[in-house]
Amino acid sequence: MESIQQLVATGDVPLRADGTIDLTELARMSLEDVVNRIMDAQADELCGEGNRRNGYRERSLVTPVGEITMRIPKLREGTYFPEEIIRPYSRVDRAVVAAVREAYVRGMSTRKIEKAADALEFASLSPSRVSRMTADLDEELEAFGARRLDGMGFPYLWLDATFPKCRDNGHVQSKGVVTAIACGEDGRRRFVGFDAVDTESASSWKEFLRSLRRRGVHGVRCVTSDDHGGLVEAVAEVFPGAAWQRCIVHLERDVAGWFPGRSDRATALAAMKAVFAESDPKMVRAAYRQACEVVRGLSGRRGELLEDAEADALAYLDFPAEHQKKLRTNNVQERANAEIKRRTKVVGVFPSEKALLRLVGSVLLDVNEDWACSRFIDASTLAGLERRAPDPEPPSAEVVELARKKIEEAIAEGRAA
């Protein structure tokens, strides 16, 4: 290339402070020269007979090797624009946009991306400019959030909420971002919805769940979640006949939180863990009732609360044994939420709800792609799935006695530890 040869001949090759050749700047200069030569050749082809060139208009373009100046030829008649090189009104190369989007989705804040760009010395990327570049995600996320889910039933549904901070009407506040994960009849899990709602409002939960129904989520047999306000009422109305499984991990935490004293807390928690260490449905039910007696001995009112929660805490026992460990906790949501929190933490406070949902939706898209390659539950065990009725026969005296002994042993081990 003549211009590079001229640089070498004249000794104008770009150098770093240590005297070595600045390869990045050399690549930038080469790219700028090639792009301008291509545009000159294309403009010459358009001129033909009776038309002439009429100068240039300069336009900057951020590329992976730095910012170049494009000298776009002007014609006396007609117009020329290098659409194969750059989109109209764009000041950033597609490769840079893709890299910035990937960095943003991976958890880098707009300010960190700006600092990284400055350190690499390839462009000036202000936070507002990064935000405009990542705004291209909106169309993709809108399609993801509005996609149809017809064609199969979704017997299992997990719901949860996270609470990042964002600005709303000039004030910084926690915003409830809810996500829904479903396991389809094909045995694969997938995110089927996300939104920002008032998690304490039954009406907000109803609207969110109705949006899932409208998009094709049907055949729900069990919904697993924490005890969010208004959620149980919404599940019963939108998915009639579906069981609600209260996450046992959150239930254990709630029970432990009832008792400020270390000894009482250890006793209650040991009893609860002993319940869910069992797998036989009759033993689990018998152990749960023994745990209620233990908690009642510590606090009569708390014991009644735990007893009232039995049907929801043990709903998973009405489903196939191979599904029970996945149904009784919200771990599938917890792992996804951990990824959301990891990436939202670096941002701190989001400037708007739209920006918050843009990042959360990008995380869900990323996780969804990973899940698409694996099965969560054996599809053959989901065919014709129906909720079994609980065994009407009460546990035998032998089962009750065995459950009592196991609870006592667990409490003794907990105290010894």
Least confident of 98-112, 158-172, 186-200, 302-316: 98-112
Choosing from 99, 117, 138, the residue where a domain stops is 138
Domain that holds residue 218: 151-247+330-386
Q: What distance, in Å, lies between the first and last C-alpha atoms of the chain?
A: 77
CB 110 within 8 A of CB 343: no
Please give the Cα distance from 286 to 53 (Å, whole number): 90
What confidence tier does 274 reach under pLDDT thresholds 50, 70, 90?
very high
State the CB neighbour count (10 A cutoff) for residue 330.
23
Amino acid identity of residue 308, one-letter, is D
13 in a structural domain: yes
Query: Cα(114)–Cα(111) distance, rounded to whole angstroms?
Result: 5
- Which tokens go with 301? 């009112």
Question: Would 146 be classed as within a structural domain?
Answer: no
132 shares a domain with 187: no
What's the CA gap between 417 and 411, in Å, rounded? 10
Please say if the pLDDT value at position 89 is more than 50: no
Mean pLDDT, range 286-297, rounded to an integer: 94
pLDDT at 97: 47
Sequence-distant (6+) residues with CB within 8 A of 394 are none
Contact by Cβ (8 Å): 192, 212: yes
Dihedral sign, CA of 247, 251, 254, 260? negative
Q: Are residues 79 and 196 in the same domain?
A: no
Q: Is residue 8 situated within a structural domain? A: yes
User: Regarding predicted confidence, which is higher, 30 or 157?
Assistant: 157
Which residue, of 89, 116, 138, is where some domain finishes?
138
Evaluate whether residue 145 is within a structural domain: no
Strand-pair partners of 224: 158, 245
Do 90 and 169 belong to one domain?
A: no
Task: Give the residue, 301 or 394, on which the prediction is more confident.
Answer: 301
Positive or negative: CA dihedral 365, 366, 372, 375: negative
d(CA 259, CA 266): 9
- Please state the rounded mean pLDDT for residues 373-394: 83
Interatomic CA distance for residues 81 and 286, integer angstroms: 77
Alpha-carbon span 32 to 15, nearest angstrom? 18
Which strands form 243-246's sheet, in the order they lie side by side?
189-196, 177-183, 156-162, 222-225, 243-246
pLDDT of 104 higher than 80: no
Lowest pLDDT segment from 88-92, 320-324, 340-344, 401-405: 88-92
Closest to 99 (Cα-Cα) out of 136, 64, 138: 64
Q: Which of 246, 268, 255, 382 is nearest to 314 (CA)?
A: 246
Query: Same domain for 275 and 156?
Result: no
Same domain, 60 and 179: no
Burial 4-30 (b: 16+ CB within 10 A, else e): eeebeeeeeeeeeeeeeeeebbbebbb
Same domain, 227 and 358: yes
Do 221 and 272 have their domain in common? no
pLDDT average, residue stretch 329-336: 90
| 252 and 238 belong to one structural domain | no
CATH number of the CATH domain containing 163: 3.30.420.10
Tell me if 378 is assigned to some domain: yes
Which of 111, 138, 165 is where one domain is finished? 138
Asked whether residue 376 falls in the same domain as residue 399, the answer is no
Residues 234 and 296 in one domain: no
Task: Label residue 107 by pLDDT band (50, 70, 90).
Answer: low
Q: Total domain count for the chain?
A: 3
CB 81 within 8 A of CB 318: no
Q: Are 309 and 250 in contact (CB under 8 A)?
A: no
Q: Is residue 38 part of a domain?
A: yes
In a domain, 285, yes or no: yes
Confidence of residue 394 (pLDDT cuts 50, 70, 90): confident
* Angle formed by the axes of helices 262-276 and 248-257, nearest 10°: 160
Answer for the pair 38, 18: CB distance below 8 angstroms, yes or no: no
For residue 415, pLDDT over 60 is answered with yes
DSSP secondary structure, 235-299, as one string = HHHHSTT-EEEEPHHHHHHHHHHT--SHHHHHHHHHHHHHHHT--SHHHHHHHHHHHHHHHHHH-
Cα 36 from Cα 34, distance rounded (Å) = 6
Q: Pick from 288, 306, 161: which is nearest to 234 by CA?
A: 161
Residues 256 and 380 reside in one and the same domain:
no
Structure tokens at 7: 């640089």
Query: Domain check: are 88 and 158 in the same one?
Result: no
What is the predicted pLDDT for the residue at 14? 78
Q: Are 228 and 201 in contact (CB under 8 A)?
A: no
Whether residue 280 lies inside any domain: the answer is: yes
pLDDT per residue as tens digits for the range 116-170: 455 444 455 555 555 555 566 677 788 888 899 998 999 999 999 888 888 877 7
